[in-house]
Amino acid sequence: MKFIKLKLAATVLAALGTMLATSAQAQSNDTLAKVKASGSISMGVRDSSGALSYTLGDGKYTGFHVEVCQGIIADIEKAAGKKLEVKYTPVTSQNRIPLVQNGTVDIECGSTTNNATRQKDVSFVVTTFVEEVRIAVKSNSGITSIAQLNGKNVATTTGTTSVQLLRKNERATGVDFKEVFGKDHADSFLLLESGRADAFVMDGSILAGNIAGSKTPADFKIVGEVLSVEPIAIMIRKDDPAMKKAADDSVKAMIKSGAMAKLYDKWFVQAIPPKNAKIGLPASEATKAAWATPNDNPVESYAKK
């Protein structure tokens, strides 16, 4: 009888532990409650993600996704009835998802592709930008296609999927190239700029942004086939329906009012700081389609089209 009571007690304690863990997890995922209680919100930003998110130095960040997130936060402040301190937290391709998961970052405003694998770990706000993965080379390289990458060094950023896409492309069959990795997008571009890489494979907007911000933009060009069409979206914690709805509703309102299109034009068509360079990348038909029917579909759904 004593053994049965002990076993029952152990079972009750285990069940209670599970309930407490589940409750704690639910509370940790309630971003709106968290930021209202703390009075601050952590925005994940990138140092060199083209016009989407980049640093101006001295802890200042700007870009298309940074401004979209500022709009979302403004709406959250209205709902919370209080002003929030915005803390900018630099993230990389490698640590962005863990930092969202563990609560260090409340909303990630960089250049993250929404895919099915990542959806297992985080949630994505409805798509704001549809990207084309391309290849950047030096203008005098003579490289114009994937086939010409045979025997070359190809740069990409650690923690991204670009070279995997290149290897899977049917035009890459029999093409043997060596991968060289940059720790961030600026580092990857430096590999190309310094001649340590013959090409840099990445999202077209990031390539264009780094070229526009370089010392001699005319020395570089974007070439070759489109390797992939990818939905780029803002990341938030998984299983947080209140935050998901708030962010989605905010983005949808920006789209409906025309504010999203104006922001896009500001960052991808007009001259941007600090060098007043132009990216020169008008909104694609795929981006306009994502705005017309807001959704959080992963890249796999685009591949089926």
At 204-259, the pLDDT tens digits run 999 999 998 899 999 999 998 888 889 999 999 999 999 999 999 999 999 999 99
**DSSP 3-state assignment of 65?**
helix
What's the rounded Cα separation, in Å, for the pair 126 and 165? 23
Residue 233 parent element (H or E): strand 220-237
pTM for the structure as a whole:
0.80
Per CATH, is 131-230 categorized as 3.40.190.10? yes
Helix, strand, coil % (nearest 5) of the chain?
45, 25, 30
pLDDT digits (tens, 9 = 90+) for 105-138: 999 999 999 999 999 999 999 999 999 889 999 9
**CATH class as words, domain 33-130+231-303:** alpha beta
Domain ranges in the chain with CATH number 3.40.190.10: 33-130+231-303, 131-230
Nearest CA to 206 out of 72, 46, 89 is that of 46
